[in-house]
Structures are given as structure tokens and as C-alpha cells.
């Protein structure tokens, strides 16, 4: 033994940062919805995300968003919020999948 007793402050500090990070991650995801896209991408979005919401990435955009079809005007959409989709953030989709078959769709936002 090196003469130090277990539980001394310098030993406890080793765990401070990982515990803070874990608590921070818990706080940020407590009110979130986890999802898997039809293409198999794992994501996290707003707590009120619904199964029929569309996850879209607009041309030139680096961040995917969730859209919800309007109940009153089915041709229009509402912005639900930004989402995190693993492998699609920061424009990776455009860079990593240049030959991916994309569907071009116009969305009218309310």
C-alpha cells in the first residue's frame, strides 16, 4: 500500500468527470425520442416525435430535421425539430453515399 486511504479526495476525483458526463447525457436524452429510420440509421429527436413524422435532409443542409404532416392541410408540413441521425450529421450522408438513390420531394412548411 502507498499509505493513502481509499476514498481520499484525489481518488474520488478520478470518477468526477465520467459521472458528470453520464449525468449530462442523461439530462439531454431524458426528454428525447430514439428512432431507427427505414434505411436503418439510428437517431434521436424531440420527445414529441411520432412514428409518421418524416426525417429529411434538405439539399445543402448539414443537419436532418423532423417534419410532421399538417392535419388541416395534408399537403403542408410542420417543423418538429432538429434530429441527430448517426452517420448523417455534418454532411456525411452527402460525402459517404454519393451514389445513394435519393428521392427529391418538395415540402410546403406552415
Say how far apart CA 15 and CA 22 lie, in whole Å. 11
Number of domains, the chain: 1
Determine, yes or no, domain membership for 1.
no
Task: Specify the pLDDT at position 3.
Answer: 53
The answer to the question of residue 23 being in a domain is no
Residues 6+ apart with CB under 8 A from 87: 41, 93, 96
User: Quick check: is 18 in a domain?
Assistant: no
pLDDT, residue 76, reads 95
Q: What is the pLDDT of residue 91?
A: 64
What range does the domain containing 78 cover?
32-109
Q: Which helix (H) or strand (E) element contains residue 25?
A: helix 9-29
Does residue 77 lie in a domain region?
A: yes
Determine the Cα–Cα distance for residues 46 and 29; give it in Å rounded to an integer: 9
- The DSSP secondary structure of 50-65, one letter per residue, reads -TTPEEE--TT-SS-E
Could you tell me what percentage of the chain is helix, strand and coil, using 3-state DSSP and rounding each to the nearest 5? Answer: 25, 25, 45
Q: Is pTM, for the whole model, over 0.95?
A: no
**pLDDT at residue 62, as a whole number:** 77
What is the chain's pLDDT, residue by residue, as a tens digit (110 residues)? 455 555 555 555 655 665 565 555 555 556 788 999 887 889 999 999 999 999 988 877 778 899 999 999 989 999 999 999 988 776 666 666 666 677 788 888 88
Amino acid at each position: 500500500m502507498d499509505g493513502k486511504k481509499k476514498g481520499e479526495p484525489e481518488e474520488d476525483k478520478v470518477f468526477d468527470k465520467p459521472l458528470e458526463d453520464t449525468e449530462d447525457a442523461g439530462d439531454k436524452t431524458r426528454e428525447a425520442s430514439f428512432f431507427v429510420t427505414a434505411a436503418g440509421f439510428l437517431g434521436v429527436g424531440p420527445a414529441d416525435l411520432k412514428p409518421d413524422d418524416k426525417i429529411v435532409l434538405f439539399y445543402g443542409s448539414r443537419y436532418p430535421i423532423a417534419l410532421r404532416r399538417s392535419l388541416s392541410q395534408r399537403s403542408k408540413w410542420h417543423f418538429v425539430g432538429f434530429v441527430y441521425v448517426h452517420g448523417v450529421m455534418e454532411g456525411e450522408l452527402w460525402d459517404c453515399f454519393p451514389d445513394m438513390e435519393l428521392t427529391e420531394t418538395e415540402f410546403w412548411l406552415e
